A and B are shown apart, each in its own frame.
Chain A
Amino acid sequence: MTPEASRASHRRLIAAHGEPISIRRYTGTGTARPRFDWQGRARVTAFAPEALAGGLQQGDQKIIVLAEDLIAEQFPVPPRKHDKCVVRGRELNIEAVDDNTRRIAGVIIAYELAVRG
């Protein structure tokens, strides 16, 4: 599968089954610290029970977000551990960012985020 075909396939999947989310980045510390949200569309799922190993916990969720959408919003990719993901109004912590699984021939198609909260 070419990167273009994979991207098109991901886009169809996320258009059909995804939902709007935001990735939120805070800077600094304290209550007045600034933040900025980048809006996108993503597929939000639970991890399969057999995947719950290592640092993953029950209740953690997997979010698949198209890299192209973040780049279009000029998000400074990649998302980072401890950035936040806002799903249905709830702010979740990004525990891990996987930018390998959905990379085709070196081209990043989508990020898999492990989120908790």
Chain B
Amino acid sequence: MQNPGVYNLGDRAITTALTGEVITDGTSAAGEDQAFIDRLDGMTAATISARFSYGSGGTSCKVWVQTSLDQGVTWVDIACFAFTTSSAHKMTNLSAALETANQLTPTDGALADNTNVDSILGDRLRVKITTTGTYAGSTTLAVRAAVR
């Protein structure tokens, strides 16, 4: 694949409620800001780490890892990590080498808590989050992807 390695899919200090906020901060090949990590053509697997450091307050924090198969026109959930009011570190591995038994209907910010959609990996990744309640006390989220 192009550019295997560990990528930062987003770090965010969480305070007021966010709805469908993309937290990925990347750079295009031309050096322009973009809200995704690209140049991942040929990616066959992505191991994702989501670390939620809880401070205080808040209710829920949902984290959707997304890919796109149409150059960013539509984004598709491939994993959802759900956090509440305690620190947690969750990981999962997604593989494009598996064959899907059924056709899938893509979702955008709607995949069920703590589930994956395997076999679907495009050439780019990003993270979208929705939080409820007001977190405080240095609550942070960090999402990483080791792609190969």
Chain A residues at the B interface, C-beta cutoff of 8 Å: 25, 27-30, 32-36, 67, 70-72, 74-77, 108
Chain B residues at the A interface, C-beta cutoff of 8 Å: 3, 7-8, 11-13, 25-29, 31, 33, 37-39, 51, 53, 55, 87, 137-142, 144
Q: Is the interface of B mostly helix, strand, loop or mixed?
A: strand
Q: How far is the CA of A33 from the CA of B38 in the complex (A)?
A: 25
Instruction: Tell me how many residue pairs across A and B have CB atoms closer than 8 Å.
Output: 59
* A117 shortest CB reach to chain B, Å: 22
- Complex interface: chain A residues within 8 A of B33 (CB): 76
- Complex interface: chain A residues within 8 A of B142 (CB): 27, 34, 36
Q: How far is the CA of A51 from the CA of B13 in the complex (A)?
A: 37
Closest to B11 in A: A27
CB pair B140 A76 closer than 8 Å: no
CB pair A28 B27 closer than 8 Å: no
CB pair B27 A71 closer than 8 Å: yes
CB pair B11 A36 closer than 8 Å: yes
* B31 shortest CB reach to chain A, Å: 5
Closest to A29 in B: B138
CB pair A74 B138 closer than 8 Å: no
Q: How far is the CA of A71 from the CA of B39 in the complex (A)?
A: 11
CB pair A34 B11 closer than 8 Å: yes
